A = this chain, B = another copy of it.
Amino acid sequence: MQNGSGHFLPAVSIDNVIFGFHQNELTVLLLQAKSNQRWMLPGGFIGKEEDLDAAAARILTARTSLTNVFLQQFHVFGSAKRNRKEHLGEVLRTLGIELTAESWFMQRFITIGYYALVNYEQVIPQPDETSLTCCWQDVRKLPLMLFDHEHIIAKALQVLRLQLNYQPIGYTLLPKEFPLKSLQTIYETILGRKLDRSNFNRKLLSYGILEKKEKHYTGAAHKAPFLYSFREDMYFKALENGLEKDF
Protein backbone atom coordinates (compact mmCIF):
# COMPACT_ATOMS: atom_id res chain seq x y z
CA MET A 1 0.00 0.00 0.00
CA GLN A 2 2.96 2.30 0.70
CA ASN A 3 4.06 1.97 -2.90
CA GLY A 4 0.95 1.25 -4.88
CA SER A 5 2.67 1.28 -8.24
CA GLY A 6 4.42 -2.01 -7.57
CA HIS A 7 1.40 -4.11 -6.76
CA PHE A 8 -1.75 -2.50 -8.10
CA LEU A 9 -3.34 -1.52 -11.38
CA PRO A 10 -3.04 2.22 -11.94
CA ALA A 11 -6.01 4.57 -12.40
CA VAL A 12 -8.72 2.25 -11.03
CA SER A 13 -10.02 1.86 -7.50
CA ILE A 14 -12.95 0.12 -5.81
CA ASP A 15 -15.38 1.53 -3.24
CA ASN A 16 -17.77 -0.72 -1.33
CA VAL A 17 -21.14 0.57 -0.12
CA ILE A 18 -22.32 -1.88 2.56
CA PHE A 19 -25.87 -1.18 3.64
CA GLY A 20 -26.80 -2.55 7.03
CA PHE A 21 -30.40 -3.41 7.81
CA HIS A 22 -31.81 -4.20 11.20
CA GLN A 23 -35.40 -3.76 12.34
CA ASN A 24 -36.39 -0.51 10.69
CA GLU A 25 -33.01 1.17 10.27
CA LEU A 26 -30.86 1.47 7.17
CA THR A 27 -27.21 2.25 7.79
CA VAL A 28 -23.99 2.30 5.80
CA LEU A 29 -20.57 1.06 6.87
CA LEU A 30 -17.96 3.84 7.01
CA LEU A 31 -14.38 4.31 8.12
CA GLN A 32 -13.09 7.51 9.65
CA ALA A 33 -9.65 8.50 8.40
CA LYS A 34 -7.03 9.20 11.08
CA SER A 35 -5.64 11.98 8.90
CA ASN A 36 -8.44 14.47 8.46
CA GLN A 37 -11.34 12.91 10.38
CA ARG A 38 -13.36 12.66 7.19
CA TRP A 39 -15.43 9.54 6.70
CA MET A 40 -14.99 7.23 3.76
CA LEU A 41 -16.21 4.04 2.19
CA PRO A 42 -14.10 0.91 2.59
CA GLY A 43 -12.12 1.08 -0.65
CA GLY A 44 -8.83 0.11 -2.20
CA PHE A 45 -7.01 -1.03 -5.30
CA ILE A 46 -6.87 -4.01 -7.65
CA GLY A 47 -3.86 -6.31 -7.68
CA LYS A 48 -2.08 -6.51 -11.03
CA GLU A 49 -3.12 -10.16 -11.49
CA GLU A 50 -6.30 -10.07 -9.42
CA ASP A 51 -9.84 -10.43 -10.73
CA LEU A 52 -11.97 -7.34 -10.13
CA ASP A 53 -14.65 -9.10 -8.06
CA ALA A 54 -12.00 -10.82 -5.93
CA ALA A 55 -10.38 -7.45 -5.23
CA ALA A 56 -13.68 -5.99 -4.01
CA ALA A 57 -14.14 -8.88 -1.59
CA ARG A 58 -10.53 -8.75 -0.35
CA ILE A 59 -10.72 -4.98 0.26
CA LEU A 60 -13.95 -5.28 2.20
CA THR A 61 -12.55 -8.02 4.45
CA ALA A 62 -9.20 -6.28 5.01
CA ARG A 63 -10.72 -2.96 5.96
CA THR A 64 -13.78 -4.05 7.94
CA SER A 65 -13.37 -7.72 8.95
CA LEU A 66 -16.61 -8.61 7.12
CA THR A 67 -16.51 -11.86 5.17
CA ASN A 68 -18.86 -13.75 2.84
CA VAL A 69 -20.76 -10.63 1.79
CA PHE A 70 -22.45 -10.89 -1.61
CA LEU A 71 -21.12 -7.80 -3.41
CA GLN A 72 -22.64 -6.49 -6.63
CA GLN A 73 -21.24 -3.89 -9.01
CA PHE A 74 -23.63 -0.96 -9.30
CA HIS A 75 -21.89 1.99 -11.01
CA VAL A 76 -18.56 3.37 -12.19
CA PHE A 77 -17.67 6.90 -11.10
CA GLY A 78 -15.50 8.43 -13.80
CA SER A 79 -15.65 12.21 -13.56
CA ALA A 80 -12.22 13.63 -14.31
CA LYS A 81 -12.45 15.85 -11.21
CA ARG A 82 -13.71 13.32 -8.69
CA ASN A 83 -10.72 12.76 -6.40
CA ARG A 84 -9.92 16.14 -4.93
CA LYS A 85 -6.24 16.75 -4.44
CA GLU A 86 -6.64 18.66 -1.15
CA HIS A 87 -8.28 15.64 0.50
CA LEU A 88 -5.63 13.32 -0.88
CA GLY A 89 -2.81 15.34 0.62
CA GLU A 90 -4.26 15.05 4.10
CA VAL A 91 -4.82 11.31 3.80
CA LEU A 92 -1.36 10.62 2.37
CA ARG A 93 0.41 12.50 5.17
CA THR A 94 -1.08 10.17 7.79
CA LEU A 95 -0.04 7.15 5.77
CA GLY A 96 3.54 8.43 5.85
CA ILE A 97 3.57 8.91 2.09
CA GLU A 98 5.39 11.94 0.80
CA LEU A 99 3.09 14.13 -1.23
CA THR A 100 4.59 14.99 -4.58
CA ALA A 101 3.02 15.61 -7.94
CA GLU A 102 4.46 12.26 -9.07
CA SER A 103 3.00 10.26 -6.17
CA TRP A 104 1.18 7.16 -7.36
CA PHE A 105 -1.77 8.15 -5.19
CA MET A 106 -2.02 11.58 -6.80
CA GLN A 107 -3.10 10.20 -10.16
CA ARG A 108 -6.70 10.36 -11.32
CA PHE A 109 -8.73 7.32 -10.25
CA ILE A 110 -11.89 5.93 -11.78
CA THR A 111 -13.68 4.07 -9.02
CA ILE A 112 -15.93 1.04 -9.40
CA GLY A 113 -18.78 0.95 -6.90
CA TYR A 114 -19.90 -2.33 -5.33
CA TYR A 115 -22.77 -2.67 -2.91
CA ALA A 116 -24.32 -5.17 -0.54
CA LEU A 117 -27.11 -5.38 1.98
CA VAL A 118 -26.41 -7.25 5.24
CA ASN A 119 -27.99 -7.80 8.63
CA TYR A 120 -25.83 -5.53 10.68
CA GLU A 121 -26.34 -7.44 13.90
CA GLN A 122 -24.50 -10.40 12.41
CA VAL A 123 -21.19 -8.64 11.73
CA ILE A 124 -18.57 -6.91 13.84
CA PRO A 125 -16.73 -4.37 11.73
CA GLN A 126 -13.13 -3.47 12.57
CA PRO A 127 -10.98 -0.73 11.06
CA ASP A 128 -7.54 -1.12 9.47
CA GLU A 129 -4.52 0.83 10.69
CA THR A 130 -5.28 3.99 8.70
CA SER A 131 -8.68 4.49 10.31
CA LEU A 132 -9.80 5.73 13.70
CA THR A 133 -12.96 3.69 13.60
CA CYS A 134 -15.21 1.59 11.41
CA CYS A 135 -18.90 1.74 12.16
CA TRP A 136 -22.47 1.93 10.89
CA GLN A 137 -23.89 5.38 10.15
CA ASP A 138 -27.48 6.37 9.40
CA VAL A 139 -27.82 6.86 5.61
CA ARG A 140 -30.12 9.83 6.21
CA LYS A 141 -27.57 11.68 8.38
CA LEU A 142 -24.13 11.13 6.91
CA PRO A 143 -21.09 12.75 8.53
CA LEU A 144 -18.56 14.84 6.54
CA MET A 145 -17.31 12.59 3.75
CA LEU A 146 -14.13 12.24 1.71
CA PHE A 147 -14.08 13.02 -2.03
CA ASP A 148 -17.38 12.14 -3.75
CA HIS A 149 -18.27 9.35 -1.31
CA GLU A 150 -21.58 10.95 -0.32
CA HIS A 151 -22.57 10.95 -4.00
CA ILE A 152 -21.52 7.30 -4.34
CA ILE A 153 -23.78 6.34 -1.41
CA ALA A 154 -26.71 8.28 -2.89
CA LYS A 155 -26.29 6.47 -6.21
CA ALA A 156 -26.07 3.08 -4.48
CA LEU A 157 -29.30 3.80 -2.63
CA GLN A 158 -31.00 4.81 -5.88
CA VAL A 159 -29.91 1.54 -7.53
CA LEU A 160 -31.00 -0.50 -4.48
CA ARG A 161 -34.47 1.08 -4.66
CA LEU A 162 -34.72 0.38 -8.39
CA GLN A 163 -33.61 -3.17 -7.74
CA LEU A 164 -36.67 -3.79 -5.54
CA ASN A 165 -38.68 -3.62 -8.77
CA TYR A 166 -37.02 -6.55 -10.44
CA GLN A 167 -34.98 -8.57 -7.95
CA PRO A 168 -36.02 -10.40 -4.80
CA ILE A 169 -34.52 -9.23 -1.52
CA GLY A 170 -34.44 -10.41 2.07
CA TYR A 171 -32.87 -13.87 1.86
CA THR A 172 -29.82 -12.94 3.95
CA LEU A 173 -31.72 -10.54 6.20
CA LEU A 174 -34.52 -12.70 7.57
CA PRO A 175 -34.65 -15.93 9.58
CA LYS A 176 -35.64 -19.10 7.74
CA GLU A 177 -39.33 -18.54 8.52
CA PHE A 178 -40.84 -15.11 8.90
CA PRO A 179 -44.19 -13.29 8.75
CA LEU A 180 -44.78 -11.17 5.62
CA LYS A 181 -44.78 -8.10 7.84
CA SER A 182 -41.01 -8.54 8.37
CA LEU A 183 -40.41 -8.54 4.63
CA GLN A 184 -42.62 -5.47 4.26
CA THR A 185 -40.49 -3.66 6.85
CA ILE A 186 -37.39 -4.25 4.73
CA TYR A 187 -39.06 -2.72 1.68
CA GLU A 188 -40.40 0.20 3.69
CA THR A 189 -37.00 0.92 5.23
CA ILE A 190 -35.22 0.91 1.88
CA LEU A 191 -37.91 2.99 0.17
CA GLY A 192 -38.25 5.34 3.13
CA ARG A 193 -42.06 5.22 3.06
CA LYS A 194 -45.00 3.16 4.33
CA LEU A 195 -46.64 0.62 2.04
CA ASP A 196 -50.20 -0.66 1.93
CA ARG A 197 -50.21 -4.08 3.56
CA SER A 198 -52.69 -5.91 1.35
CA ASN A 199 -51.20 -4.57 -1.88
CA PHE A 200 -47.76 -5.54 -0.69
CA ASN A 201 -48.82 -9.07 0.24
CA ARG A 202 -50.66 -9.64 -3.04
CA LYS A 203 -47.70 -8.38 -5.07
CA LEU A 204 -45.04 -10.36 -3.25
CA LEU A 205 -47.08 -13.58 -3.29
CA SER A 206 -47.60 -13.19 -7.05
CA TYR A 207 -43.86 -13.58 -7.68
CA GLY A 208 -43.88 -17.26 -6.70
CA ILE A 209 -40.79 -16.96 -4.51
CA LEU A 210 -42.57 -17.49 -1.17
CA GLU A 211 -43.91 -20.63 0.46
CA LYS A 212 -46.56 -20.59 3.15
CA LYS A 213 -45.67 -22.36 6.43
CA GLU A 214 -47.45 -22.98 9.72
CA LYS A 215 -49.14 -20.28 11.71
CA HIS A 216 -47.00 -18.66 14.29
CA TYR A 217 -48.75 -19.09 17.64
CA THR A 218 -47.81 -16.38 20.05
CA GLY A 219 -50.51 -16.73 22.68
CA ALA A 220 -52.66 -14.03 21.10
CA ALA A 221 -53.77 -16.78 18.74
CA HIS A 222 -56.47 -14.87 16.92
CA LYS A 223 -53.80 -12.54 15.57
CA ALA A 224 -51.21 -15.19 14.71
CA PRO A 225 -49.82 -14.48 11.24
CA PHE A 226 -48.81 -17.18 8.80
CA LEU A 227 -45.11 -17.69 8.44
CA TYR A 228 -43.38 -17.87 5.08
CA SER A 229 -40.03 -19.02 3.77
CA PHE A 230 -38.29 -18.28 0.50
CA ARG A 231 -38.46 -20.96 -2.19
CA GLU A 232 -34.72 -21.07 -2.80
CA ASP A 233 -34.83 -22.31 -6.40
CA MET A 234 -37.29 -19.60 -7.47
CA TYR A 235 -35.52 -16.93 -5.44
CA PHE A 236 -32.13 -17.50 -7.08
CA LYS A 237 -33.69 -17.86 -10.53
CA ALA A 238 -35.33 -14.48 -10.00
CA LEU A 239 -32.03 -12.95 -8.86
CA GLU A 240 -30.60 -13.95 -12.23
CA ASN A 241 -33.51 -13.29 -14.60
CA GLY A 242 -35.68 -10.80 -12.76
CA LEU A 243 -39.00 -11.29 -11.00
CA GLU A 244 -41.73 -12.86 -13.12
CA LYS A 245 -43.83 -10.27 -14.95
CA ASP A 246 -47.22 -11.22 -16.30
CA PHE A 247 -46.90 -9.66 -19.73
Contact A195:B12 (CB < 8 A) given known A75-B73, A78-B52: no
Contact of A166 among B76, B77, B80, B162 (CB under 8 A): B162
Contact A110:B200 (CB < 8 A) given known A11-B11, A243-B165: no
Contact of A110 among B9, B77, B164, B247 (CB under 8 A): B9
Q: Does A232 contact B (CB under 8 A)?
A: no
Stretch of A26-34, A43-51, A119-127 lying at the B interface: A43-51
**CB within 8 Å of B: which of A71-101?**
73, 75-80
**Distance, CA A60 to CA B166, complexed state (A):** 30
Contacts of A73 in B (CB 8 A): 75-76
Pick 13 A–B contacts, CB within 8 A, sort by A: A9-B110, A12-B12, A52-B76, A53-B78, A55-B78, A76-B112, A165-B242, A196-B247, A199-B246, A199-B247, A203-B245, A203-B246, A204-B247
Q: Which residues of A approach B to under 8 Å, CB–CB?
A: 9-12, 46, 48-53, 55, 73, 75-80, 108, 110, 112, 161-162, 164-166, 187, 195-196, 199-200, 202-204, 241-243, 245-247
